[in-house]
A and B are shown apart, each in its own frame.
Chain A
């Protein structure tokens, strides 16, 4: 059996479920944002500010950011294990990508809760 200590999930099945679950959250968030931008006319600063000031939207955004972290973590691990065969280089790249994804998550939380 091959282990996957650097991936997000505990096993292939876990990764498989987490990838799809996070994809569903990201798809819903994207569809909602596009629909809001398309149907909220005129799309003013007040409308946009009002949307993100509401608690449900803050929670939804936080969920989407966490889903993005999980999705990117697993996806990057899969891509790197395919294309980067040097283990130390792969470890460094994986570290950089995961830290960047965490930075996006932290920034997102601070920005959204600052509205």
Chain B
């Protein structure tokens, strides 16, 4: 279980540009939930993910995982149980390393990086198997450097890599936003499968309302550092894109957008 309790987040504290995003923000995500998060730009979606992962500091509050406060833990320590896919496809892979080397790195997450050989040839077939699920032909590109692949192919590899080792949480930060519609479909489809198969607790920020409705068993809409809509299970299933759009528009009118 993941709990955000009384989170306070202030950008540029003490400066003229000071901006309080979260003031006593609370959210509880139970195990196995797949939460889709929507909201306008600046509503705090990505900031929330960054707070969970420890990428940005907070001014107050607790981040509880299984009841244990991890707010003081360094970002890299938290990633032991977290996998993350970013909006930018180049964030999730190493461009100058080959597919095999990238997969080997990901496969070794959670273990020590010592002086044994970095690439284990015996695991190559397993990597190929995992990549072939995508249907993008990546299993035939084991010796190709990731920098030579397209954004969609890299993002697909990044998703496979982030879930290759056992993790509890999967954090998806607009991970289909930079992809063409067809590749985005493939990646979303795979995301749904992986989350289900590996029984992950997932949080997905997206601007694609259809994905938010189709995937996951909980839907949250954020606005100005608060949650304005929160539907679970049966309630969520009844939600249509139009319903969300309606709430969205009413917020925008308030803001004068």
* A and B part of one assembly: no
